[in-house]
Amino acid sequence: MMRLPKFEYRVPRAIGEAVKIMAGSGPQGQFVAGGTDLYPNMKRRQQTPQTVISVMRLPELNQITGDGAAGVRIGASVTLTDICEHPLINRDYPVIAHAARTISTPILRNMGTIGGNLLLDTRCNYYDQNYEWRKGINFCLKKDGDVCWVAPGSSKCWAVQSSDLVPVMVAIGAKFRLASTLGERMIDAAGFYNDDGIDYLKKRPDELLVDIHLPPLNGWRASYQKLRRRGAFDFPVLGVAAWVNLSEEGTVKSAKLILGGVGPAPVEVKEAEAALIGQPLNEERMRAAAEACYVKVRPLDNTDFLMNWRKQMARPLGFKALEELSR
Ligand SMILES: Cc1cc2nc3c(=O)[nH]c(=O)nc-3n(C[C@H](O)[C@H](O)[C@H](O)COP(=O)(O)OP(=O)(O)OC[C@H]3O[C@@H](n4cnc5c(N)ncnc54)[C@H](O)[C@@H]3O)c2cc1C
Ligand code: SF4
């Protein structure tokens, strides 16, 4: 049985207190929300913080406020179950409720939070293993080793961004609010993820994710399609988020196609967007955009399924995501 290492557990009741504890803990401190990602990582000794600071008792992080007309703020500690069930999210941002419902199982969604999901560690078959397994291959670049087993000639880690909500947040243009003892800042979801499996976030370790700001609805619609082995459980090994704003005549004014689960950061397919903009959202244009998704995506052999098949699946999933928006 894998056991957690020893650590000090702190439960602040205000944002100011939380960021102060974090600043005082230095690199040995780490925030935790539901713990569904962090605690397994600690058991596998991939992350070994000595001070773990809970964000679950910070009132501001547990609220959903606003509406589709003005935009919505979702606190980072709101659970995935609450996102799935919230009437306002289901009415105004159904794509978020839908993507959240595809995450793992009901039990995990009761514990896991939206913030934890957006900050999820990157994943790889050579990394998501226990300590002894990783030691058996002399570890890897991402933790304790000096070679990447997926691309041995590479100085970069290719571990995969595996959150279902990340591509959706990038596609719809959400923003994230971060806080630390140095103050607050807002950052676009689109600029928040680095194409590097180790240093995968633009967030500093001392920064707290406070809330997620969803843009007002002004005619846009979005959809999400997910590829995984078991429909009731697994991580995405390809996710397609599509976003369009149509004119009254039905032509595409603007579009975004974002792929998740295929690299360290979400991938924007600008070629697919170019194939749609200024055109009616018809079968021919949707097929051209889906083809652009297929051409762009370059998965590596470090998650479930054959990488060539995952690449091919970008076509039907890209088409399906757009078709949903054409109805
Ligand atoms: C069996 C299993 C299946 C899963 N399937 C899926 C899936 O299908 N799709 C998917 O997207 N995910 C999946 N997950 C991943 C994960 O559990 C969820 O993404 C969940 O939402 C993580 O939220 P959490 O609150 O538990 O995060 P935690 O484990 O608490 O935290 C995750 C990371 O975020 C940091 N953090 C959390 N909150 C904050 C904050 N407010 N400010 C700063 N840092 C913070 C933590 O330090 C940690 O680095 C799965 C996990 C398991 C164990
Ligand atoms: S991509 Fe390479 S360096 Fe990164 S976790 Fe996998 S094996 Fe390790």
| Ordered DSSP codes for 115-142 | HHHHTPPPB-TTTSS-HHHHHHTT-BTT
Centroid of ligand 1 to alpha carbon of 117 (angstroms): 4
pLDDT at 63 over 90: yes
Give pLDDT, residue 1. Answer: 80
Q: Are strands 64-67 and 71-75 parallel, antiparallel or unpaired?
A: antiparallel
Q: Which amino acid is at 250?
A: G
* Per-residue model confidence as pLDDT tens digits over 107-150: 999 999 999 999 999 999 999 999 999 999 999 999 999 999 99
For ligand 2, whether the C-beta of 140 sits within 6 Å is: yes
Centroid of ligand 1 to alpha carbon of 323 (angstroms): 30
Atom of ligand 2 nearest to the CA of 141: 3
Give pLDDT, residue 233. Answer: 86
For ligand 1, whether the C-beta of 158 sits within 6 Å is: no
Centroid of ligand 2 to alpha carbon of 153 (angstroms): 12
Query: pTM for the full model?
Result: 0.98
At CB < 8 A and 24+ separation, what contacts does 253-257 make? Answer: 253/277, 254/220, 255/289, 256/170, 256/171, 256/172, 256/173, 257/171, 257/289, 257/292, 257/293, 257/318, 257/321, 257/322
Per-residue tokens: 195 = 């194409």
Atom of ligand 2 nearest to the CA of 148: 2
Task: Choose the residue to mutate in 28, 47, 52, 117 for probing ligand 1, maximizing ligand atoms within 8 Å of C-beta.
Answer: 117
Q: How many helices (H) and strands (E) does the chain have?
A: 12, 12
